[in-house]
Structures are given as structure tokens and as C-alpha cells.
């Protein structure tokens, strides 16, 4: 049974395909955003600061020199800066500022005893050990009042709300891990160092909240293990995904981008889309025209009905055409899902005539089969009558 980290579970929730590429196929990518690179360097500086603290308090100058050294040594060509108005220097200096602020706020770094730095933890989520989790705690501390503290450094530019941190799964899960591995940790405090704001935020979890978190995580692990399709899911996070070349939603876009613009029209996919877009736009123009004509026709139709009723005629003569106006009573059933609809269906069943008016709803059947809603041999017996066929939808999106 594999072990799951919160980032692994989060990846699955965001995009099952990206999950498969990273955690099932284990395809490595070295591309990273400069924000993640900066975050790593800050974490390293903090780890070094607290490791050294067992022997001495390092000076701010030493700490900054350590950070600069790591930055220079670890910088690589695959670090991407997505903001065009920013440079590497901007980010390097930002990291320095984070370190200076943190240093001044926490010097001389004697708030409690260090229990672990970048501490790797593995623990079961339930008593049977069916669900296994893992994680790395930035800094695990023992406070002077005997509480365990889970410290997490955040270098991101977004300020989280307290309510969001009170629901944060990562540190909540770490608390479960800490209390599983060290049962003497009766009280655990969760602490975020939001270094972009020189701010510290805290949260505590009730036993009920931890139980709920365990259930949620176990449910997500079940979903991961039942997954077979690993479909891609497009979102704002795609901009930070390093797997565009393997993603069916992105790989052609990536290919087109790599071709000089003057050669685009010769690329077969581009030619198809351009031809499709041209016809689609023409169709849209015609549809707008048709809608306007339909509206006018509707108005004339109303006038024809009023005229026929007033004059007591069914046929109205024109210069070179005639209009036949026929009225017929029609029955309409109450809307699906309404109480009246349910009452009507009950009546029809009671009267024993339901089979005469009920028909199979193919989309409801498809949904029930796809979801595996019916258990046992019901599903098997139904599957003998239905065929799986691949249906395509082709949707045009205009580039902004
Ligand atoms: S580009 Fe987006 S949809 Fe494709 S694998 Fe990455 S995250 Fe998923």
C-alpha cells in the first residue's frame, strides 16, 4: 500500500493526469517556477540556521551569505520566471528581505527546543494501517509549556485568511502524524511563518476536526486507488505544470508555439482549426440572422393567431401565399422533480398504466452504468445490452 503526502493528494484533486505522470509513471521534470526555487532556498537557510543553533547563533551576515551561496550553486536553466516585468535579481533580493525580516523578528532563536528540522514523518491514518501518510515538517519544536509546535514557512505572496488556515489539511495532517508518532504530544500548535508579510499565524485543531480530516483524506485515497482514467483537468494551475508535452490538452499548443509564426498555416492541426473557425464564425453570423428572423416570424405568428380568432377563420389569404392557423388542445405534464409530477406518476402507477407512458431515459442509464451505481449482477446483466462507444465533442475557443 503506497504512502500519500498532502501535495500528492492535492495534485490528484487538481489534475488526475498530472498525478499519474508524477506519481504513477514517475516521469521526472526539472522545470520549476522561480517562486518555488526561492522557497527552497529560504527553507535551506532556515534549516541551517536552526542546525547551527545547537552550537551557536549565526550572524545575519553569515545567514545571508549561506543563502546567496545556495542560490548561486543551485540556480539552473529550468527555473522559469513567468512575470515578464520581473528579473532573477528581484526574486533573489526578495529572498534576502524575507531572511532579514525573519532573523530580526526571531533572534536569538531560543523559542523552545528543536525536535526536528525538515523532519520526514510516516504514519498510518487508521488503526488497521490501511491508509498510510507521509510528510516533511519544516521545523518541529517543543515549547516551554510542553506543547509540540509544527512550524511551516510560507514564502508565497498570498495572505491566507485565518479560516483557511483553520481548515489547512497539510498541517492538520502533520498534527495527526505527530500525535501518532509521539503520543506524549497532547497539545499541538500549528504555526505558519508568512515571511512575505513578516507575520506569524497559528491554528489549533479539535479532536473532532482531526477525525473529520482523517475521513476526508481516507476518502481521497480511496478515490486515487479506484482511478483508472486519469483524465486531464484544465485549471489556472496548468501554467505551472511541467508536463505540457504529455498532456492532450496542451501538447499541440506547445508544438505550435515552437514553430515560427509564418509557418503556422502549414501545420496540419493549425490548418484544421483555422478552417473550422472560419466556418464556425460564418455559422454564428447566420444563426444571429436566423434568430432575428425567427423573432420577427414569432411576432407575425401572434398577429396571425389573433387575426384568425377575431375573424373566425383557419386560412388567411396573402398575395402569393396563404397561412393555415390550426388550434389544438395539448396536455403538458408538471415539471420533472416537482411534487405534482411525483403525484401524477403515483396515480399512473396505481392505475396500472405506467408502462404505457414510461420510456427508458438513455442518459440516466448511461450515468448509472458509468458510476457503477447498481451492485452485483444487475450491472452485469444490463451491460449485456449496452455498448460502449466513444463520442466526440469538438468545441472552438477563440484566443483572447
Ligand atoms: S497541463 Fe493542466 S491538464 Fe495538462 S497535465 Fe498539466 S495540470 Fe493537467
Mean pLDDT of 309-338: 93
C-alpha cell at 394: 469538438
Half-sphere exposure at residue 262, Cβ-oriented, CA atoms within 13 angstroms = 0
Kindly state if the Cβ of 16 falls inside 6 Å of ligand 1.
no
Q: Decide if pLDDT at 368 tops 90.
A: no
Mean pLDDT of 318-336: 92
What is the C-alpha to C-alpha distance for residues 68 and 93, in angstroms, rounded to an integer? 10
Q: What values do phi and psi take at 376, rounded to 5? A: 65, -150
What is the C-alpha to C-alpha distance for residues 13 and 109, in angstroms, rounded to an integer? 38
H-helix or E-strand spanning residue 47: helix 34-53
Kindly state if the Cβ of 232 falls inside 6 Å of ligand 1.
yes
Kindly state if the Cβ of 289 falls inside 6 Å of ligand 1.
no
First to last CA, the chain: 46
Q: Could you read off the pLDDT of 138-192 as tens digits, one per residue?
A: 999 999 999 999 999 999 999 999 999 999 999 999 999 999 999 999 999 999 9
CB 63 within 8 A of CB 99: yes
| Residue in 273, 275, 270, 241 with CA at minimum distance from that of residue 258 | 270
Give 3-state DSSP helix, strand, coil % of the chain, rounded to 5: 50, 15, 35
Q: Could you read off the pLDDT of 274-304 as tens digits, one per residue?
A: 999 999 999 999 999 999 999 999 999 999 9
- The per-residue pLDDT for 86 is 96
- The per-residue pLDDT for 39 is 98
Kindly state if the Cβ of 18 falls inside 6 Å of ligand 1.
yes
Cα Rg, the chain, nearest whole Å: 32
Question: Model-level pTM?
Answer: 0.79
Q: Decide if pLDDT at 75 tops 90.
A: yes
321-331 residues labelled b (16+ CB within 10 A) or e (exposed): eebebeeeeee
Atom of ligand 1 nearest to the CA of 249: 4
Q: Decide if pLDDT at 236 tops 80.
A: yes
- The per-residue pLDDT for 229 is 94
Give the residue, by CA position, lying nearest to ligand 1 atom 4: 247
Average pLDDT taken over every residue of the chain: 94
C-alpha cell at 171: 498541517
Q: Decide if pLDDT at 316 tops 80.
A: yes
Where residue 175 falls (left for φ over 0; alpha for ψ -120 to 50; beta otherwise) is: alpha
- Of residues 5 and 389, the one with the higher pLDDT is 5
C-alpha cell at 338: 416537482
What is the C-alpha to C-alpha distance for residues 155 and 34, in angstroms, rounded to an integer? 11
Q: Decide if pLDDT at 398 tops 90.
A: no
CB 203 within 8 A of CB 149: no
Q: Decide if pLDDT at 372 tops 80.
A: no
| Residue in 48, 10, 37, 38 with CA at minimum distance from that of residue 196 | 38
Across-strand partners of 152? 192
Give the residue, by CA position, lying nearest to ligand 1 atom 7: 238
Q: Give the whole-number percent of the chain exceeding pLDDT 90.
A: 84
Q: Decide if pLDDT at 1 tops 90.
A: no
Kindly state if the Cβ of 247 falls inside 6 Å of ligand 1.
yes
Distance from the CA of 14 to the center of ligand 1, in angstroms?
9
Amino acid at each position: 500500500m503506497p504512502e500519500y503526502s498532502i501535495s500528492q493528494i492535492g495534485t490528484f484533486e487538481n489534475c488526475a493526469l498530472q498525478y499519474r505522470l508524477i506519481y504513477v509513471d514517475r516521469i521526472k521534470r526539472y522545470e520549476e517556477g522561480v517562486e518555488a526555487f526561492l522557497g527552497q532556498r529560504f527553507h535551506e537557510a532556515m534549516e541551517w540556521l536552526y542546525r547551527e543553533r545547537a552550537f551557536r547563533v549565526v550572524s545575519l551576515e553569515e545567514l545571508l551569505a549561506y543563502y546567496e551561496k545556495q542560490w548561486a550553486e543551485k540556480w539552473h536553466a529550468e527555473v522559469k520566471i513567468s512575470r515578464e516585468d520581473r528579473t532573477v535579481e528581484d526574486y533573489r533580493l526578495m529572498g534576502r528581505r524575507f531572511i532579514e525580516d525573519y532573523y530580526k523578528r526571531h533572534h536569538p532563536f531560543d523559542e523552545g527546543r528543536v525536535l526536528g528540522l525538515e523532519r520526514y514523518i510516516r504514519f498510518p491514518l487508521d488503526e488497521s494501517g490501511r491508509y498510510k501518510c507521509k510528510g516533511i515538517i519544516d521545523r518541529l519544536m517543543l515549547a516551554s509549556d510542553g506543547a509540540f509546535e509544527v512550524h511551516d514557512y510560507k514564502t508565497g505572496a498570498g495572505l491566507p485568511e485565518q479560516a483557511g488556515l483553520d481548515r489547512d489539511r497539510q498541517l492538520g495532517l502533520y498534527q495527526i502524524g505527530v500525535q501518532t508518532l509521539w503520543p506524549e504530544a497532547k497539545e499541538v500548535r500549528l504555526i505558519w511563518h508568512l515571511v512575505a508579510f513578516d507575520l506569524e499565524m497559528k491554528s489549533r485543531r479539535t479532536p473532532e476536526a482531526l477525525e473529520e480530516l482523517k475521513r476526508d483524506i481516507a476518502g481521497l485515497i480511496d478515490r486515487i486507488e479506484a482511478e483508472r482514467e486519469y483524465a486531464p483537468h484544465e485549471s489556472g494551475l496548468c501554467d505551472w505544470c511541467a508536463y505540457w508535452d504529455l498532456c492532450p490538452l496542451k501538447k499541440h499548443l506547445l508544438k505550435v508555439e515552437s514553430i515560427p509564426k509564418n509557418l503556422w498555416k502549414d501545420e496540419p492541426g493549425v490548418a484544421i482549426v483555422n478552417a473550422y473557425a472560419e466556418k464556425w464564425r460564418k455559422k454564428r453570423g447566420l444563426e444571429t440572422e436566423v434568430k432575428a428572423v425567427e423573432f420577427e416570424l414569432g411576432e407575425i405568428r401572434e398577429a396571425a393567431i389573433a387575426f384568425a380568432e377575431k375573424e373566425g377563420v383557419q386560412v388567411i389569404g396573402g398575395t402569393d401565399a396563404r397561412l393555415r392557423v390550426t388550434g389544438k388542445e395539448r396536455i403538458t405534464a408538471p415539471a420533472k422533480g416537482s411534487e405534482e409530477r411525483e403525484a401524477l406518476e403515483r396515480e399512473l402507477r396505481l392505475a396500472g398504466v405506467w408502462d404505457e407512458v414510461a420510456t427508458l431515459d438513455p442518459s440516466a442509464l448511461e450515468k448509472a452504468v458509468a458510476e457503477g451505481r447498481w451492485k452485483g449482477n444487475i450491472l452485469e446483466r444490463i451491460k449485456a445490452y449496452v455498448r460502449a462507444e466513444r463520442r466526440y465533442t469538438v468545441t472552438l475557443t477563440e484566443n483572447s
